[in-house]
Amino acid sequence: MDPRQHEYRVLHEADLRDYLAGLPEITARLGGAPAFWSIGEVGDGNLNLVFIVKGTAGGVAVKQALPYVRLVGEGWPLPLSRSHYEYLALTHQARLAPGLVPDVLHHNEALALVVMELLAPHIIMRKRLVAGTIYPRFVEDITTFLARTLFLSSDLAVSAAEKKEGIAAFAGNHALCKITEDLIFTDPYRVAEQNRWTQPWLDATAAAFRENLDLHVAISRLKLKFLNAAEALIHGDLHTGSIMVTESETKVIDPEFAFYGPMGFDIGAVIANLLMAYLASAGHERSPGERRAFEAWVLETVEGVWTEFARKFLELWRTQAGGDAYPRTLFEGEVGAARLETERQAYMARLFEDTVGFAAAKIIRRILGLAHNIDFELIEDPKRRAISEARSLRLARTMMVDVASFSTIGTVTKAAREVRDWQPDFA
Amino acid sequence: MDPRQHEYRVLHEADLRDYLAGLPEITARLGGAPAFWSIGEVGDGNLNLVFIVKGTAGGVAVKQALPYVRLVGEGWPLPLSRSHYEYLALTHQARLAPGLVPDVLHHNEALALVVMELLAPHIIMRKRLVAGTIYPRFVEDITTFLARTLFLSSDLAVSAAEKKEGIAAFAGNHALCKITEDLIFTDPYRVAEQNRWTQPWLDATAAAFRENLDLHVAISRLKLKFLNAAEALIHGDLHTGSIMVTESETKVIDPEFAFYGPMGFDIGAVIANLLMAYLASAGHERSPGERRAFEAWVLETVEGVWTEFARKFLELWRTQAGGDAYPRTLFEGEVGAARLETERQAYMARLFEDTVGFAAAKIIRRILGLAHNIDFELIEDPKRRAISEARSLRLARTMMVDVASFSTIGTVTKAAREVRDWQPDFA
């Protein structure tokens, strides 16, 4: 047990007011007398308390971890230390990708508390995707975040010693990793009490996923990679609910699942959630075709996420390769440089394959596992919802078991476009 | 700096005698008055001091790390903490593979000192291979060591939480990993001051290895795997100089390079060193063909190391799979079990490919890099030595760049047998 765990207490509104009043930097930012600050609990995630605090001058967001999974209750304990890892990740990401994560203003490890700048008027991206909103900046920002946080924490950029220190610093976050290992890489493929899906329409598909051994082999290989491949500091939960946007800004939040894992898991998460937004879109139509422009943008965005990520990652590799991997001295001269460039392309092809596989895993867990998402959940007619979900599962299954057939991001969006017009048996 | 580093001092014979006299368990084991103990420094490795201490009742071996690389001197500092990691590894390996590592009797972290049972009449295996001695027990023992230490520390056997704790416990051993990263995965392929080879015969080959970009890509991919793939607690330096043998016993010593890395690195180390013993053997012949029986045994041993390792590893997987990878619940019933068995074979095929590549890397570094081995060095005629070395490099180059052509261990021994009769240009 953390020696300071006895200092932990859940902060209710009055406690929080007193606590923040004792922090000069925070009181200055908020402005006005503490008694007049407005404090509201707004956490809609699965794990934590989140307070918005506003004063006369400004606001802050306060996130406190609970010693259990909020979505499930005290029966599912979860270590408070995740707040420490979130703090570590946020501050490291801020160095690697400036401006793309919220500023941390204060951290109290014993209280499992992080105080951050209030992101306003930012909105959770997933909500706006459900509404059909286009964000032209998104590709630019998210690919900068992905390329910089992944490349700059990898063996391509840092020494092996620095990377091993990073691995050790995050190794204690295994309880959060375990959630991923179970809920993404295991449960959707077996009978598990917490699984749920849109019944009765997806009953047969859910059963098929529990029986399909090609899928079980593929998900097990991905799980092994998640367990073994300490490639870079990954966010670990990079869905569109972990991204806040305005017309002009993108902020990545909630990195409490961060650890040194496979890069493709983060890239795949972004692509998966965009593909779900695309295939859920038909369910949100009030008149046929009204969201076609939005849907076209989503698929362009899927393509842009990979191509711009790859371009930026390669550019960093060409210009900031200070790590121990692929030492420049083995690729000298023009011929050497050309060969290294060929190898970089091969590296990206392997990373793309990982990305497609992890993206498939992230789609499947949102439809057959415990944690669903509002892209589908807000489709009121359950049969229409099931149609969108069945299309997504069909795409994800192919991506997972036939990953080799997806050689470019264009083949992924082509498959998405085709499955958009596919009618499941029950339709 | 380690807060206790100021307590460190190099123990000379008199200090060591006083120190051991203060340890009741050690004095009891040694027997007789401390003044009558014989103490001799016998370290012939590259890094440390090793003392053999004998009393009237028995003996102990004492290993003390120096704050620099013994082979090179004070100009190459190396952290004393490696003694702590050696202790951690020895005690963990003793639990995983009982009887196959020396018993640890005492450890003093501040002095970077480990006291172990004296292995007598055990002899460093490499010395006996040079002499042409056959060890029929070797395959049985080393494959038990490999299968048990690798399987039982992997995600196939332990929970992800336990494995991450292990990764963190060894992450600080990065200075020793860095030696491997430089001396094995980098230097032999570039101009490096410390490189040496048998001149002038290997000049052209050494130059070719510094120019061959296929090799540079292959070694870089292996290096990346060494940096990234936290598969299991590996010994990290498992050559035949780290193995002590008698007719009836095998002991694996010196795990100071231990960390969580790719399994194939350990298996490849054993196979590489056997292949070098095989190809060096002709250089030790006093009459043509006199070592044919030994050489046949070595190649049988190479085959046995892989096949028995694979058999034992698979058997452990079938019977002791308590880890988070490949959860049994995804492979239920007869059909599921059969599919999991197929996947186990595919896993072993991937591990074999790693093994072949790492074996090649281990051969090349011993001929073109800093640290050579007596298999070759004791061939007095430098031209004969160069012939054995050139054959080894020819084999290793193919294993590294054309790894896919080695589908079974039989293809490796077949290639070794063929290269045994190949005459380099200069011969």
Checking if the pLDDT of A71 tops 90, the result is no
B70: pLDDT confidence band, cut at 50, 70 and 90? confident
Query: What's the confidence (pLDDT) of residue A5?
Result: 52
Write the pLDDT tens digit of every residue in B291-332.
999 999 999 999 999 999 999 999 999 999 999 999 999 999
> Which of A213, A222, A326 would you mutate first to test chain B, the one with the most B CBs within 10 A?
A213
> Which of A85, A150, A173, A330 would you mutate first to test chain B, the one with the most B CBs within 10 A?
A330
Q: Which of B160, B228, B329 sits opposite A190 (nearest CB)?
A: B329
Q: What is the CA radius of gyration of chain A?
A: 22
Domains and CATH numbers, chain B: 5-117 (3.30.200.20), 123-420 (3.90.1200.10)
Query: What's the confidence (pLDDT) of residue A46?
Result: 74
Mean pLDDT across chain B: 96
Nearest to B16 by CA among B35, B44, B3: B35
Chain A residues close to B339, C-beta within 8 Å? 213, 216-217
Query: What's the confidence (pLDDT) of residue A1?
Result: 43
Chain A closest CA to B341's CA: distance in Å?
Answer: 11
Nearest to A55 by CA among A23, A19, A30, A29: A30
CA B317 to chain centre: 23
Q: Which of B171, B189, B227 sits opposite A325 (nearest CB)?
A: B227
Residue type, A404: A
Checking if the pLDDT of B69 tops 90, the result is no
Question: In B, what residues contact A, Cβ < 8 A?
Answer: 155, 160-161, 163-165, 167-168, 171-172, 174-175, 177-178, 181, 186, 189-190, 213, 216-217, 219-220, 223-224, 227-231, 324-327, 329-331, 335-336, 339, 343
Backbone φ and ψ of B107, nearest 5°: -140, 135
Closest B-chain CA to A230:
B228
Residue carrying the six token digits 């230390």: A81
Closest A-chain CA to B350:
A221
B43: pLDDT confidence band, cut at 50, 70 and 90? confident
Write the pLDDT tens digit of every residue in A183-207.
999 999 999 999 999 999 999 999 9
Six-digit token pair at B254?
Answer: 């010196």
Query: What's the confidence (pLDDT) of residue B1?
Result: 43
CB within 8 Å of B70: residues ≥ 6 apart: B43, B45, B46, B47, B48, B49
Average confidence (pLDDT) over A421-427: 94
Cβ burial, residue A286 (10 Å; 0-12/13-18/19+): exposed
Query: What's the confidence (pLDDT) of residue B7?
Result: 87
Write the pLDDT tens digit of every residue in A33-55.
999 999 999 877 678 999 999 99
Q: Do A227 and B155 touch (CB under 8 A)?
A: yes
Q: What percent of chain A has pLDDT over 70?
A: 98
Rounded distance, CA B350 to CA B355, Å? Answer: 9
Dihedral (Cα; B358, B360, B362, B367), 10-degree rounding: -160
Chain A closest CA to B401's CA: distance in Å?
Answer: 14
B5: pLDDT confidence band, cut at 50, 70 and 90? low
Checking if the pLDDT of B413 tops 50, the result is yes
Q: Do A223 and B336 touch (CB under 8 A)?
A: no
Average confidence (pLDDT) over A331-357: 98
Q: Which of A190, A324, A330 sits opposite B330 (nearest CB)?
A: A190
Rounded distance, CA A86 to CA A176, Å? Answer: 11
Checking if the pLDDT of A151 tops 50, the result is yes
Checking if the pLDDT of A78 tops 60, the result is yes
Average confidence (pLDDT) over B234-251: 97
CB within 8 Å of A290: residues ≥ 6 apart: none
Residue type, A146: L
Chain B closest CA to A178's CA: distance in Å?
Answer: 7
Q: What percent of chain B has pLDDT over 70?
A: 98
Write the pLDDT tens digit of every residue in B194-228.
999 999 999 999 999 999 999 999 999 999 999 99
Strands (DSSP E) found in B111-212: 113-117, 123-124
Backbone φ and ψ of B273, nearest 5°: -70, -30
